[in-house]
Amino acid sequence: MPELVRYEVKDRVAVITIDNPPVNALSPAVWTGIDEAVARANADPAADAIVIIGAGTTFIAGADIKVFDLFKTPHDSMARSETTHALLRRLEDSTKPLVAAIHGNALGGGMEVAMSCHFRVAARDAKIGQPEVLLGIIPGAGGTQRLPRLAGVEAALKMCTDGKAVPAAAAKGGAIDEIVDGDLLTGAIAFAARKAAARETRKTRDIALSGDQITRGLAACAAARDALAKTARGQRAPFAAIDAIEAGLQLGFDRGSVRERELFAECVVSTESKALRHLFFAEREVAKIPDVPKDTPTLEIRRAAVVGAGTMGGGIAMNYANAGIPVLLKEIDQAALDRGLATIRRNYEVSMSKGKLTPEQLEKTLALITPTTSYDGFDRVDIVTEAVFENMDLKKQTFAELGRVTRPDCILASNSSTLDIDEFGRASGRPAQVLGHHYFSPANVMKLLEIVRGRETGKDVLATSLKLAKRLGKVGVVVGNCFGFVANRMLAYYMREAYLLLEEGASVPQIDNALTAFGLPVGPFGMQDIAGIDVGARIRQYLKSIGKSRAEGPQSEVPDRLYEMGRYGQKTGAGWYKYDAPGSRNRTPDPLIDTLAQEAAAKRGITRRPITDDEIIARITTALANEGARVLDEGFALRAGDIDVVYVYGFGFPRHRGGPMFYADTVGLPTVLARVKEYRARFGDYWQPAPLLERLVAEGRGFYTGAAAAV
Ligand code: T1G
């Protein structure tokens, strides 16, 4: 059994090293090890002071998140928290100076251990933070009580409600006492020895807050609550963090700590926290491809190229330039190229106006994008992303050309959102180098990258794509090659239900508002007006031409009528909504849509009726889960978690609901299946339960749980 907590004495300073790779998480054994080691140091005549440090690349990155699944009731959590709080008080009561030496990250429980030490020194590039709200919990080891005393109430509120890590150097003079340049352990031992010589210790819990600090702190709590009311709708944890900090200000450290434990216990057993913890691990699982070993060799990406400078092509080129990778941007003619470049410059100017970019940085980044109307230089790039019109013949022609003008080991990726990647592989003559890199609009903003695996795509090409996704700041998810892959294949069912609910009696604003209240950033109709109604219409036309449709069941005529009217959405000033002007985001509902819906309903012999928001959510989430079960069963997604990550990053499915598959588990698969059957009886046989859904219910299981009972 490797020693998780090591003890040695150096220059009369006891050095306690936490060694629990990969991130020194606080498992129960680590907690106990720290407790025993500090007690040992206090009793050790050879030591005048104590340093706690992490082995490897980081200090302690928090409690072991997996442990929280053991808490079935708030009581389970309370018992554990009382033990932890008592342990941290013992650290604080150390009679010898106790110093935390921080490198890498001190996060969550790691930061709370550090704050229970008397002093904290850190490497200049270290980070500290309380990211618990990102897991649907709050700091549960005294962080909401000690951080305000060290960093001030305002800073503590920000760190505990947005969960973002802050540079240790920026916290100097507050939570951090000294920045160490050079060897951290040497610097920490010297610092500790100085404190020992001065017989200096300091209990964070005894740092008193003045009346004025408390008054200003309470006002800051109220202001933080108001601000969060807009940004954290439907979530509990950020507000619970404020409640705990406020309790500390009003009741003092000890009773504030009790309130913290109660609030933590409430949060840790919540569905919100289970959903966010699920996503924490699901986001890390997506990078693991069973048949692509971790040590699969990857290709170095030094230069790139993009074919097509439209909305998507331009955004993709920006991703490469933002990552410092020189990129050729090709268009068929100068006019199209100039339009594409103008959009790119406008996007960067918007970032500059928001202070995200300096003029120098703008010009430096733009200089990495080389516009061209020829394939000159394509023989020197490591990857090409094709982003031309979503048309099979045009794309096959492009891949044939790319197969001729690029190096044999060059990766050829397509940004197609629906079409057969293997066709492009065949057209290029080297299918092993071909795969899909499906970005989401706007490509320079949305974090999801669907990496579509073709029948012959090489493992090195897949491994390279996953690594590249991280480098471009994207979350890469490997999916199979079926029509619409994972994201758009399931989206077709989401949109089918939205259109049918409209025909049956709901309105565009009602449906969109129901989904935004559920937690999505935008509803189906607002989303289509942003992406363009024409994009969907052209895909439907292509499918019609090959005798297919995107989703079984009735195809509403309303979106095609809008297309025929030239109402493509924001870009034309009208779509599902009316806009102040083409390109404007200011929208108003348009009664014309209700007329079109009534006409479509009449043609299909439907009697329109009042529809509740609950039915809207139930129909849409059931359609997503049912089709998701098919995608999983057919092997086009490796794990249910991959589907959740696709929807959270591709469409903004609310994180605190865990994604469509996790959400289905919270509803309970027996209920989801019953709904599919109810809808089949009410609306038609196009509602067919996915075989996997039926199997899981029959076996009493969920997508994630052993038991099918609601999570
Ligand atoms: N618990 C368990 N496993 C963890 C973990 C943790 N806290 N942190 C990371 N891992 C695993 C992760 O799943 C992955 O596993 C591997 O470590 C490497 O992680 C009491 C209640 C530190 C910034 O929220 O943000 O303390 O996939 O791929 O990109 O009040 O990990 O290899 O099998 O992310 O270098 C609060 C969570 C906990 C920080 C490093 N702490 N971790 O990023 O590596 S709650 C957090 C991170 C708490 C207290 C409360 C990041 C990182 P595998 P990785 P990375």
pLDDT in tens, 513-537: 999 999 999 999 999 998 899 988 8
Burial class (CB in 10 A: 0-12, 13-18, 19+), 400: middle
- 586 CA to middle of ligand 1, Å? 41
With beta carbons less than 8 A apart as the criterion, state whether 630 and 480 touch: no
Name the residue at shortest CA distance from atom 2 of ligand 1: 64
* Strands (DSSP E) found in 115-219: 119-123, 127-129, 166-167, 178-180
**Rounded percentage of the chain residues whose pLDDT exceeds 70:** 99
449 pairs with which residues across the strands? 439, 476
Residue-level pLDDT at 1: 61
| Cis-peptide into 22, omega within 30 deg | yes
With beta carbons less than 8 A apart as the criterion, state whether 349 and 271 touch: no
Rounded-to-integer distance, Cα 440 and Cα 485, Å: 13
The one-letter code for the residue type at 403 is G
Active-site pick, 92, 112, 246, 504: 112
For 630-690, the DSSP string reads HHHHTTSBS-HHHHHHHHHHHS---GGGT-HHHHHHHH-HHHHHHHHHHHHHHH-TT----
DSSP 568: -
pLDDT tier at 118, thresholds 50, 70, 90? very high
The one-letter code for the residue type at 552 is E
Rounded-to-integer distance, Cα 189 and Cα 101, Å: 9
pLDDT tier at 710, thresholds 50, 70, 90? very low
DSSP 420: -
Hey, how many other C-beta atoms are within 10 angstroms of the C-beta on 330?
28
Rounded-to-integer distance, Cα 523 and Cα 234, Å: 16
In 5-69, which residue ranges form alpha helices assigned H by DSSP? 28-43
Residue-level pLDDT at 706: 65
Is the CB of residue 37 below 6 angstroms from any atom belonging to ligand 1? no
pLDDT tens column, 452-491 = 999 999 999 999 999 999 999 999 999 999 999 999 999 9
Rounded-to-integer distance, Cα 95 and Cα 679, Å: 69
Q: What is the mean pLDDT of the chain?
A: 96
| Residue at token pair 């075989």 | 691
Q: Under DSSP, is residue 131 helix (H, G, I), strand (E, B) or coil? A: helix
110 CA: nearest ligand 1 atom = 26
Residue-level pLDDT at 711: 44
Burial class (CB in 10 A: 0-12, 13-18, 19+), 384: buried
Q: Is the predicted pLDDT of residue 236 greater than 50, yes or no? A: yes
Is the CB of residue 62 below 6 angstroms from any atom belonging to ligand 1? yes
Rounded-to-integer distance, Cα 380 and Cα 357, Å: 30
Residue-level pLDDT at 708: 45
Residue 367 phi, psi (nearest 5): -65, -15
**Rounded percentage of the chain residues whose pLDDT exceeds 90:** 93
Average pLDDT over residues 609-626: 98
With vertex at residue 231, the alpha carbon angle to CA 710 and CA 477, rounded to the nearest 5 degrees, is: 60
Residue-level pLDDT at 695: 98
pLDDT tens column, 415-463 = 999 899 999 999 999 999 999 999 998 999 999 999 999 999 999 999 9
Rounded-to-integer distance, Cα 49 and Cα 462, Å: 51
Hey, how many other C-beta atoms are within 10 angstroms of the C-beta on 101?
31
pLDDT tens column, 275-333 = 999 999 999 999 999 999 999 999 999 999 999 999 899 999 999 999 999 999 999 99
pLDDT tier at 184, thresholds 50, 70, 90? very high
- 128 CA to middle of ligand 1, Å? 13
Average pLDDT over residues 263-268: 98
Which of 202-206, 670-674, 703-707 is predicted least confidently?
703-707
Is the CB of residue 109 below 6 angstroms from any atom belonging to ligand 1? yes
pLDDT tens column, 62-100 = 999 999 999 999 999 999 999 999 999 999 999 999 999
Q: Is the predicted pLDDT of residue 8 greater than 90, yes or no? A: yes
| Residue at token pair 């500290």 | 128
Residue-level pLDDT at 591: 96
pLDDT tens column, 22-61 = 999 999 999 999 999 999 999 999 999 999 999 999 999 9
DSSP 451: E
Active-site pick, 3, 36, 132, 363: 132
Biggest CA-to-CA distance, the chain? 91
With beta carbons less than 8 A apart as the criterion, state whether 646 and 448 touch: yes
Is 564 an active-site residue?
Answer: no
Rounded-to-integer distance, Cα 275 and Cα 251, Å: 32
With beta carbons less than 8 A apart as the criterion, state whether 328 and 378 touch: yes
Tokens of 313: 């092509």
Rounded-to-integer distance, Cα 288 and Cα 336, Å: 39
Tokens of 22: 């990969």
- 23 CA to middle of ligand 1, Å? 6
Hey, how many other C-beta atoms are within 10 angstroms of the C-beta on 308?
25
Residue-level pLDDT at 541: 83
Residue-level pLDDT at 709: 45
With beta carbons less than 8 A apart as the criterion, state whether 100 and 202 touch: no
Tokens of 378: 């394509």
Name the residue at shortest CA distance from atom 20 of ligand 1: 109
pLDDT tens column, 355-394 = 999 999 999 999 999 999 999 999 999 999 999 998 899 9
143 CA: nearest ligand 1 atom = 30
pLDDT tier at 163, thresholds 50, 70, 90? very high
Burial class (CB in 10 A: 0-12, 13-18, 19+), 66: exposed
pLDDT tens column, 532-561 = 999 888 888 877 787 777 688 888 999 999
Question: What element of type H or E holds 315?
Answer: helix 311-322
Residue 385: closest CA among 435, 311, 459, 325: 435
Is 112 an active-site residue?
Answer: yes
Residue-level pLDDT at 233: 83
Torsion over CA of 43, 47, 52 and 53, rounded to 10 degrees? -140
Rounded-to-integer distance, Cα 417 and Cα 492, Å: 12
Is the CB of residue 315 below 6 angstroms from any atom belonging to ligand 1? no
Residue-level pLDDT at 265: 98
**Site to substitute for ligand 1 among 4, 20, 23, most atoms within 8 A of C-beta:** 23
DSSP 294: T
pLDDT tier at 230, thresholds 50, 70, 90? confident
Residue-level pLDDT at 531: 87
